[in-house]
Amino acid sequence: EAGVAQSPRYKIIEKRQSVAFWCNPISGHATLYWYQQILGQGPKLLIQFQNNGVVDDSQLPKDRFSAERLKGVDSTLKIQPAKLEDSAVYLCASSPGMGSPLHFGNGTRLTVT
Amino acid sequence: AQSVAQPEDQVNVAEGNPLTVKCTYSVSGNPYLFWYVQYPNRGLQFLLKYITGDNLVKGSYGFEAEFNKSQTSFHLKKPSALVSDSALYFCAVRGNTGGFKTIFGAGTRLFVKA
């Protein structure tokens, strides 16, 4: 089966600019996750979707981050405006069910200068 | 609240020796527990999981993990380490209540010396 697809692979922007990341999960996976992984740290959950509904977004900085999952398939994560501390790898993952592991994409490495 | 602790930033072991990477957790209800591995410039890969049943679970690449409910631990083990096992290892926990979100530990870097 095809894996989780993410784009772009790398992105460099200046602070206060905006950026968007795209994720296409594995076909049939109802749950989609966005994680932020800062260098040297574990992945931090930003938002979790079940189909096209939000299950948890308690750690999403809603003043600057937004995410949507239209039609319960693809998802986009947006940052506007970006700050220096947003420099990180943004990981998308999907899962078919509760007892199943997460399948991760290769991530988008964001550098904010 | 859910939490995962990996008390060691780095574990060093000689090739051929057994290895243990520690993980403790806190979650309401019965936990779903996972181990993932991350190689440089690669996404996280699933190693093994515990949902229910036998406390010793076996996974990919010869790894296994032991679930200990009383100590709320889920340590990763391998009887004989390989240099190629050198990577970053993450423990993760998913509660079975509320939003069922998956929380990751900070990670442990495993270094296997030839």
For residues B112 and B86, what is the distance between their CA atoms, to the nearest angstrom?
Answer: 5
Whether residue B10 lies within 8 A of chain A, CB to CB, comes out as no
Reported confidence tier of residue B100, pLDDT bands at 50, 70, 90 = confident
Average pLDDT over residues B11-31: 94
For residues B33 and A63, what is the distance between their CA atoms, to the nearest angstrom?
Answer: 32
Task: Enumerate the residues of chain A whose CB falls inside 8 A of the CB of residue B36.
Answer: 101-102, 104
Number of H helices, E strands in chain A: 0, 11
Least confident of A6-10, B4-8, B96-100: B96-100
- Cβ atoms of A4 and A94 closer than 8 Å: yes
Nearest beta carbon to residue A42 from set B96, B100, B105: B105
Interface size between A and B, measured as CB pairs under 8 A: 56
Encoded tokens for B30: 């019965």
The yes-or-no verdict on residue A66 having pLDDT over 90 is yes
Burial B60-99 (b: 16+ CB within 10 A, else e): eeebbbbbeeeebbbbbebeebeeebbbbbbbbbbbeeeb
Amino acid at A19: V
- Category of B6 on φ-ψ map: left (φ > 0), alpha (ψ -120 to 50) or beta: beta
In order of A63, B60, B80, B104, B107, the CA distances from B65 in angstroms are 40, 11, 14, 16, 16
For residues A6 and B25, what is the distance between their CA atoms, to the nearest angstrom?
Answer: 30
Reported confidence tier of residue B97, pLDDT bands at 50, 70, 90 = low
Encoded tokens for A29: 């996976």
Task: Enumerate the residues of chain B whose CB falls inside 8 A of the CB of residue A91.
Answer: 43-44
Task: Give the gap in angstroms from C-alpha B44 to the nearest C-alpha of chain A.
Answer: 6
For residues A93 and A95, what is the distance between their CA atoms, to the nearest angstrom?
Answer: 7
Looking up tokens 């800062």, which residue turns up?
A38
Reported confidence tier of residue A26, pLDDT bands at 50, 70, 90 = very high
Average pLDDT over residues B60-81: 96
SS3 B62: helix
pLDDT at residue A103, rounded to an integer? 95
Judge: A55–B99 Cβ closer than 8 Å, yes or no. Answer: yes
